[in-house]
């Protein structure tokens, strides 16, 4: 899996960016949201998701990790493919999509090309609780998670720890004032607090 690409933006359009990484051009499909964020830049880093189907391998690029995470949530819903999720992220900002889903605003979601009433209702049904729980912390940036805490959480999840247990263990470790710990120390202490 390619987690991100960093290099010069050889070509940019509202739907596609070609990133030159040491002489190799990566063709990334992007949302209008990502294009707007990089339109003035000549080089940079984009987080990626490789979508493999029977007929193609498509690399999607995202300016922010939170946009990528929302994309992954959207494509987990039956009937929402990668192209539809990209269309959603082009039609609305990530925090607007989350707000519409959390507030059960199907009409707003239906305003996006390719999203009908049934798909909008399915998105709300399947993602409302997931996005509602983490929307303020993870997606909207209103209460940003420290990078080290986010990395530790991802490591615990990769080890097979359930998200609620991992978050509780991390809060216990990180709520000690005046304590600077390395990422490895945080993960080890969190594992002890499970």
Among 29, 44, 62, the domain-final residue is 62
Q: Is the pTM of this model over 0.85?
A: no
Q: What digits encode the pLDDT tens for the residues 61-72?
A: 999 998 999 999
Would you say 39 and 28 are in contact if contact means Cβ atoms under 8 Å apart? no
Whether residues 14 and 70 fall in one domain? no
Question: What CATH number corresponds to the domain at position 116?
Answer: 1.10.150.20
Among 42, 62, 82, the domain-final residue is 62
Would you say 62 and 31 are in contact if contact means Cβ atoms under 8 Å apart? yes
Query: Distance between CA 159 and CA 173 in Å, rounded?
Result: 18
Query: Distance between CA 130 and CA 153 in Å, rounded?
Result: 16
Candidates 16, 21, 18; CA nearest to 6 is 21
pLDDT of residue 62: 96
Question: What CATH number corresponds to the domain at position 57?
Answer: 2.40.50.140
Whether residues 161 and 182 fall in one domain? yes
Number of structural domains found in the chain: 3
Whether residues 158 and 121 fall in one domain? no
Helix (H) or strand (E) holding 45: strand 43-52
Q: What digits encode the pLDDT tens for the residues 108-136?
A: 999 888 889 999 999 999 998 888 766 55
Backbone angles phi, psi at 136, to 5 degrees: -70, -40
Would you say 60 and 30 are in contact if contact means Cβ atoms under 8 Å apart? yes
């Amino acid at each position: 899996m390619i987690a991100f690409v960093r290099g010069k933006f050889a070509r940019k359009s509202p739907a596609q960016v070609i990133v030159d990484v040491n002489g190799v051009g990566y063709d990334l499909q992007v949302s209008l949201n990502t294009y707007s964020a990089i339109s003035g830049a000549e080089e940079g880093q984009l987080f990626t998701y490789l979508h493999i189907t029977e007929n193609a391998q498509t690399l999607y690029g995202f300016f922010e990790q939170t946009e990528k995470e929302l994309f992954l949530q959207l494509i987990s819903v039956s009937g929402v493919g990668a192209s539809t999720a990209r269309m959603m992220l082009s039609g609305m900002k990530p925090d607007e999509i989350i707000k519409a889903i959390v507030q059960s605003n199907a009409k707003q979601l239906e305003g996006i090309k390719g999203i009908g009433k049934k798909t909008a209702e399915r998105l709300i049904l399947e993602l409302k609780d997931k996005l509602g729980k983490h929307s303020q912390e993870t997606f909207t940036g209103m209460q940003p998670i420290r990078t080290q805490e986010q990395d530790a959480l991802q490591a615990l999840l990769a080890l097979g720890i359930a998200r609620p247990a991992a978050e509780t263990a991390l809060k216990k470790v990180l709520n000690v004032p005046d304590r600077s710990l390395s990422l490895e120390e945080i993960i080890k202490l969190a594992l002890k607090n499970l």
